[in-house]
A and B are shown apart, each in its own frame.
Chain A
Amino acid sequence: MQLTLWTYEGPPHVGAMRIATAMKGLHYVLHAPQGDTYADLLFTMIERRNVRPPVTYTTFQARDLGGDTAELFKTACLDAYNRFQPEAMIVGASCTAELIQDDPGGLAQALALPIPVIPLELPSYQKKENWGASETFYRIVRGLCRANTDTSSRNPKSCNILGPTALGFRHRDDLNEIRRLLERLGVSVNVIAPFDARPSDIARLGDAAFNVILYPEIAENAGRWLEKNCAQPMTTIVPIGIGATRDFIAEVGRLAGIETAEFLSHETSRLPWYSKSVDSTYLTGKRVFIFGDATHVLAAERVARSEFGFDVVGIGTYSREYARQVREAAARLGIEALITDDYLDVEARIAELHPELILGTQMERHIAKRLGLPCAVISAPVHVQDFPARYSPQMGFEGANVIFDTWVHPLMMGLEEHLIHMFRDDAEFHDGAAPSHLGHAAQKSAASESILEPIETVSAIQQAVNLEAGWSADAEKELKKIPFFVRGKAKRNTERYASELGITLINVETLYDAKAHFSR
């Protein structure tokens, strides 16, 4: 059993729903109890989709358990086929149905429907949403795509784009950005899947020369199958950030046989200049903590380090399937990766590191709010705010612009930061005041939250900064003069310094000694 306040991922059948909902002409019959239909609202409310997900739930109840739930499944399956007339169907069980072991795959096969029916085995008590999406997409590709290793008739400058799903973090806009980029490069797109693909489109995936894998968590398994069965190589670089986008273009160039140097010299983004402009000097060495799905975390690590000039002090992911890659990235930075889906562990690590910026998910935004730290969202799990009306990709050159704005926005601007250093007791320019560019709303919400959540200052923070050495009154007063957004770090450093030297009472001298000791 695992204590879970928030979950980063839904169950695997929600991953399957993300594939089914992204596609057209595919229907998902899910053996599930009453209540599991909540998942529909993820798509209709959070993503604001204007149609119901193509999912039929059997909705069994306690009284059915003694009877024939298998028959219930068959009826639901047949009704769904008759009503929706899909080109293909996927069938499976949610967590509760898995326990009653009705074998939806076998039951659906027995109906002998005149369309392909793909059974899904998604172990709910072991696996999670992204795995479910990946497995479902893989099963669909394997079940519907014509294997074909004859490459002679293929246009070498053609590809499929694999990975974008429903309810994906900026998938809609990433897809547009990359599709346009490929068009400008002269690469034609054969099929995009699962986004808007029909089962008949999946059948002709093999017509392209190679595959562009946008989100490895979702499409890498299918990509490997296509590599083997359709002789299609795949891209390995996720084009998030300037460096990665350039590398991606070069990789596509190699796969398609296109010279890209000239192309690259014309492509521009504002990020490099904005980052080099003197106003951004204050970004240098800001200590950031990165957490999210592996794709976005790995990309953010590179961008943070080499395109913003940040120090990455912590990195982690809830994508266990990609733990190795994240651990490798952490090792290159000389830090330890946090591989967990436990929100409380993430909270504890952030409290311990006290970074100056968190790049995380909606969950870390919550942690950031509690700890009074700035935060930008870089990854799923998604929130309604992650589906902005405006064009807002993460990928490609426009994605880099979006990232620059998104990450800088929560930070104190350069000169403002200096002024706070200089005039600490200004009535409007104190700890409690939000950055001026964030307006009054931010202040109000901070205030009202402290009323709503009086209890929350306990626990993690206090545990993390459990005082070993005591603070003299003078030192404590001096500590308060340090701007709040670096005070946590100063406090932690001073205490570490004191404990290393065996100092039991921290005075003003200790504080400044520690500052000198840790100055960079």
Chain B
Amino acid sequence: MNLPFRVPGAEPTGKGCVDQPVLKERGQREVFCGLTGIVWLHRKIQNAFFLVVGSRTCAHLIQSAAGVMIFAEPRFATAIIDERDLAGLADIDDELDRVVNRLLDRRPDIEMLFLVGSCPSEVIKLDLKRAAQRLSKLHLPRVRVLNYSGSGIETTFTQGEDACLAALVADALPDTKPASLVVVGALSDVVEDQFNRLFSAMGIENVGFLPARKAGAMPAVGPDTRYLLAQPFLNDTARALDELGAKHIPAPFPLGANGTTAWLKAAADVFNVPSERFATATDAGHKRAEKALTAHRETLAGKSIFFFPDSQLELPLARFLYEELGMNLVEVGTPYLHRQHLHQELERLPAGTVLSEGQDVDRQLDRCRDAKPDLIVCGLGLANPLEAEGFSTKWSIELVFTPIQGYDQAGDLAGLFARPLNRQARLGGL
């Protein structure tokens, strides 16, 4: 019942994994739904509030998803649907009005409200788009109300951010002065500042980041806008940007020294940055990143790693670990493989790497146990059980909650993978 590790027929093509068949699985998925993105999005956009319209399960999920409860008051909440709503005894519009009023009274600082759809709201076909438009009319200019779906029947984990950003793009108003370059995907503030300095040193002006830190400050997008994806899970957002005429700059993702340089270079080429100027702007950072990686290479080189599907960051991470740290890739699982956005990543992965899309968690666990990898990247539900079986694990959610992009985080990123192995060595006597 266990599947072989090298997918049959996967001969090296000289194009990495570009034409490689992918093991597609269907079964129990041990992944979060898109609502989970709220956990970082509500911190990123400082005057936005996320109101999930869903069930008690949704409320419980978000409060549990960060691994522990969060102790600062969140800018998210759930409007819990009850049996009166289902039976049609309560008018959904009235109910939403009441909940939103109570919320906005409590939080006068909120300027943007997202109504976030969930599995139950999708199944009973609540029209949150219409509700958002209606509520916007009621609360503008103080509060703008948008909607997107983070439901598990439609979105996996990071796809919630994709849906949220796509809604932001769709909401964008025509602007006389669109940004020339937009970096798309939530990044930590420190990373954003670093990239800003790098683009400025290259002479690229008028750079915007989506999402911006404040609602109301989202970058304007037009036909002259070029955009770089900072995250690999932004399918719908990219499509929405394309519809506004913006043009995607294909690039690998900015993870590691090479990844970051290639990502920046892709933009530099589009904006005709002279190669000398590019080198002046990026050499120091690239060298710093390489130096920081050296320290971890000793721990990681030659070690094998197995990725369970989680954030869609798996392919870029695998490329970084293979290319810059010399790790062996046993299986790289991803919830969804967007071949176009990941084209350059696929090119750089060693031919024959087992790629899997979707999940049947029990079968994947069988494969993983058989392969006995040195390190397993997996979700919180699997990590402790696998540790108890003697494996070293890296919880994948940390890769989403930690600044990992760019030169000055390359060492930190490698450190996230080295730490479980260091820890195992330190605690060997336990």
Contacts and interface: CB of A to CB of B under 8 A. Distances in A.
Contacts of B59: 4, 6-7
A59 interface: yes
B13 interface: no
Contacts, number: 206
Interface in B79-105: 79-83, 85-86, 90, 92, 95-96, 98-99, 102-103
Contacts of A34: 29, 31, 33, 152-153, 156
B108 A458 contact: yes
Given A11-B60, A38-B65, A100-B123, A3 B382 contact: no
Interface in A1-40: 1-7, 9-11, 13-14, 33-40
Given A14-B60, A59-B27, A33 B98 contact: no
A164 B68 CA distance: 22
A65 interface: yes
Contacts of B109: 455
Interface in B358-393: 362, 379-385, 387-388
Contacts of B68: 45-46, 383-384
Name which of B60, B83, B90, B98 has the most chain A CB atoms within 10 A of its CB. Answer: B60
Query: How big is chain B's contact interface, by range?
Result: 35 or more
A427 interface: no
B426 interface: no
B102 A3 contact: yes
B301 to A, nearest CB: 30
B61 interface: yes
Contact of B152 (A1, A36, A344, A449): A36
Given A61-B154, A76-B28, A94 B57 contact: yes
Interface residues of A, number: 66
Contact of B63 (A7, A83, A126, A369): A7
A64 B53 CA distance: 22
A207 to B, nearest CB: 34
A435 B73 CA distance: 24
B164 interface: no
A59 B72 contact: no
A453 B71 CA distance: 10
Contact of B56 (A58, A95, A455): A95
A83 B35 CA distance: 31
Nearest to A12: B56
Given A7-B59, A41-B379, A370-B73, A125 B385 contact: no
B77 A65 contact: no
Given A10-B57, A125-B82, A458-B108, A57 B96 contact: no
B384 A44 contact: yes
Nearest to A84: B362
A459 interface: yes
Interface stretch (A48-56, A141-149, A193-201, A280-288): A48-56
A2 B152 contact: no
A484 interface: no
Interface string A86-97: 000000001110
B12 interface: no
B25 to A, nearest CB: 11
B77 A4 contact: yes
A45 B64 CA distance: 10
B120 A1 contact: no
B67 interface: yes
Nearest to B362: A83
B69 interface: yes
B29 A124 contact: no
B33 to A, nearest CB: 3
A366 interface: yes
B255 interface: no
Contact of A123 (B28, B53, B60, B83): B83
B180 interface: no
B388 A51 contact: yes
Contacts of A501: none
A52 B382 contact: yes
A37 B31 contact: yes
Interface in A91-150: 94-96, 99-100, 123-126, 128
8 contacts: A5-B77, A6-B59, A33-B33, A35-B34, A36-B33, A45-B383, A125-B55, A370-B73
Given A4-B80, A39-B64, 6 more contacts: A5-B77, A7-B56, A35-B32, A51-B385, A65-B153, A458-B106
